[in-house]
Amino acid sequence: MKIGFFDSGIGGLSLVGYARTKLPDADFIFYADTDNVPYGTKTKEEITALSDKAASFLISKGAEAIVIACNTATSAAAPYLRNKYNIPIIGIEPAVKPAVKIPGHKRILVIATPFTVKEKKLHDLVDRVDIEHRVDMLPTPELVKFAEHGEFESDKVKEYLEDCFKELDKEDYCAVVCGCTHFIHFKKVFLDIFGPNIAVLDGGKGTVNNLCRHIKGEGYQVNKEQSGKTSYYRSGREITDKDTLEFYKMVIKHAAE
């Protein structure tokens, strides 16, 4: 089986890495729309058009299911894509539901792109599950740019995040929810700023588990004796150079740490 993943950039690679552990025999096609990263500062119409282009490309390469490995694209385009294409389209959402289940009354910080923070989808999710009104939302747009350059734990990253969080009382928080697939790469910095007891959550594993339920419900049987292959594309151009492939492998490994 061929499964397509797309994101504005490298963030979605964290889902590819986890999916490989769950579906070792599947073939994956990963589309990073690096010509147009970031998505989070674009309009809904622009994001939908770019997402449609990515989905169409993945289907042309034989994808039988697609994972929107991008919170911003899910918010903007998932209903449109599901209506247009007759294959499973699996979106991602910030892990707010598991966060609000953390015992106690401390607050929960959801960080995301500017588009995701202002979009109705996230607000509807919070309104639905945040019974005790513990959730705060904050845009952190520069993190995508840092991630795209593989800059995850530098002094510049820490200075940027400390500035973003300067108005917060860090001791009031029990969890940071990553509302963008790029953001899990900054887990160590979140722990430095908020302390070692902060929970850092994202929706990647839940999304992959949802993918598995969908395809197994349609009769797909995992064959653990076979190994699938993964092909990578940048806005439709196949990645073949060794340096970029090694960078992508590093990103997948970093997300799993």
Q: Which residues are catalytic?
A: 70, 180
**What is the 3-state secondary structure of the chain?**
CEEEEEECCHHHHHHHHHHHHHCCCCEEEEEECCCCCCCCCCCHHHHHHHHHHHHHHHHHCCCCEEEECCHHHHHHHHHHHHHHCCCCEECCCCCHHHHHCCCCCCEEEEEECHHHHHCHHHHHHHHHHCCCCCEEEEECCHHHHHHHCCCCCCHHHHHHHHHHCCCCCHHHEEEEEECCCCHHHHHHHHHHHHCCCCEEEECHHHHHHHHHHHHHHCCCCCCCCCCCCEEEEECCEECCCHHHHHHHHHHHHHHHC
